[in-house]
Structure 1
C-alpha cells in the first residue's frame, strides 16, 4: 500500500495528492468484508486563489442570518414593523 501519495497541480492551480488505499466493506448478509483498491484524492487550495478567503464559515453564517430574517419577516408580516 502506497501511503506517500503522488502530487500534481490540477487545471485550477490547486495541489492534488492521490493516495492508493484499500476500502473494506461489509455488505448486508455477508460475514466477511470485501476489499477493493481505491484511490483517494486530497485537494489543497491556495487561499488567495480559492475566491473564498474567509473560509466557508462566514459565508454559511451570513446565509443563515439572511434565512432566519426572511423567515421571521414572512411569519410576522408587515404588521410587525413599527409605525413611522
Structure 2
C-alpha cells in the first residue's frame, strides 16, 4: 500500500477524483486505486483497468478516454526538447 503525495487526478466510472492510495497485491493482481470523488465526496477503490489519468496539457495528455470508452483515440503532441 502506498499513500500518494501529491494525490493524482483521475477519471473513474463515478466521475473525476483524486487517487490518494495505491494498493498492489502483487504480480497476479491488478493495481487498486483509492479515489476521493470530487463531486460527491465518496471514497471508492477501483481496479487499474477501470480508471484513467486526467487531462494534462503540459504532459501532452489532451483528451484521455473515459474508463467506459476505450475506443477514444489518444492524442499526444510531441514535446519540444529545445525548451
Q: TM class by shorter-chain length?
A: under 0.3
- In the superposition, the TM-score normalised over structure 1's length comes to 0.27
Larger relative strand fraction = 2
Which has more radius of gyration?
A: 1
